Chain A
Amino acid sequence: METLELTQEEQFQARIDADMRIEPKDWMPDAYRKTLIRQISQHAHSELVGMLPEGNWITRAPSLKRKSILLSKVQDEAGHGLYLYSAAETLGASRDQMLADLHSGKAKYSSIFNYPTLSWADMGTVGWLVDGAAILNQVPLCRTSYGPYARAMVRVCKEESFHQRQGFEIMQTLCEGAPEQKAMAQEALNRWWWPTLMMFGPKDADSPNTEQSMKWRIKRFTNDELRQKFVDMMVPQAEFLGLTVPDPNLKWNEAKNGYDFGEVDWEEFWNVVKGNGMCNKDRLGARVKAHEEGAWVREAALAHAAKRKQRAEQEAVQQVA
Chain B
Amino acid sequence: MTQHEWPLWEVFIRSKQGLDHKHVGSLHAADAAMAIQNARDVYTRRMEGISIWVVESKHVHASNPDDAAAFFDPANDKVYRHPTFYEVPDSIKHM
> How many contacts between A and B, using CB within 8 angstroms?
53
- CB-based contact B65/A89 at 8 Å: no
Interface of B is mostly: loop
Cβ distance A142 to chain B, nearest Cβ, rounded Å: 15
Chain B: minimal CB distance from A36 (Å) = 16
Using known A-B contacts A96-B3, A305-B31, determine if residue A86 contacts B26 with beta carbons closer than 8 Å. Answer: yes
Contact with B along A60-89 (1 / 0, CB 8 A): 000000000000100110010011001001
The answer to whether the Cβ of A231 comes within 8 Å of any Cβ in the partner chain is no
A26 an interface residue at 8 Å Cβ cutoff? yes
Contacting B6 at CB < 8 Å: which of A79, A152, A291, A301? A301
Do A295 and B42 contact each other (CB < 8 Å), given the known contacts A152-B25, A305-B30?
no
B84 at the A interface (CB under 8 A): no
Q: Which residues of A contact B8 (CB under 8 A)?
A: 89
Q: Does A9 contact B (CB under 8 A)?
A: no
Known contacts A89-B8, A96-B3, A298-B6; decide if A27 and B26 are in contact (CB<8 Å): no
Which residues of A sit under 8 angstroms from B46, Cβ to Cβ?
159
How many positions in chain B have a CB within 8 Å of any CB in the partner chain? 21
Chain B positions within 8 Å of A23 at CB level: 65
Contacts of B28 in A (CB 8 A): 95
Any B CB within 8 A of the CB of A100: yes
Check: A215 CB closer than 8 A to any chain B CB: no
The docked-state distance in angstroms from the alpha carbon of A227 to that of B16 is: 41
Interface status of B59 (Cβ within 8 A of chain A): no
| Contact (Cβ within 8 A) B30 A301 | yes
A251 at the interface (CB under 8 A from B): no
Q: Are B31 and A89 in contact (CB under 8 A)?
A: no
- Assess the B25–A302 pair: CB atoms within 8 A: no
**Pairwise interchain contact B5-A94, C-beta atoms closer than 8 A:** yes
Q: Mark B15-48, 1 if CB is under 8 A from A, else 0.
A: 0000000001111101100100000001001100
What 1/0 mask marks residues of chain A from 286 to 299 whose CB sits below 8 Å from any chain B CB? 00000110010011
Kindly state whether residue A256 has any CB partner on chain B within 8 Å.
no
- Which residues 40-71 of B have a CB within 8 angstroms of A? 42, 45-46, 62, 64-65
| Cβ distance A301 to chain B, nearest Cβ, rounded Å | 4
Interface flag for B78 (CB, 8 Å): no
In the bound complex, residues from chain A placing their C-beta under 8 Å from that of B31 are: 301, 304-305, 308
Decide: B65 and A25 in contact? CB cutoff 8 A: yes
A58 to B79, CA, bound (A): 59
* Pair A301/B34 contact, Cβ less than 8 Å: yes
- Any chain A CB within 8 A of the CB of B1? yes
Q: 17 additional contacts, CB 8 Å, given A301-B31, A305-B30?
A: A25-B62, A75-B45, A76-B45, A79-B42, A95-B5, A95-B28, A152-B25, A155-B24, A292-B1, A298-B4, A298-B6, A301-B30, A301-B34, A302-B4, A302-B6, A305-B31, A308-B31
Interface of B with A (CB < 8 Å)?
Answer: 1-6, 8, 24-28, 30-31, 34, 42, 45-46, 62, 64-65
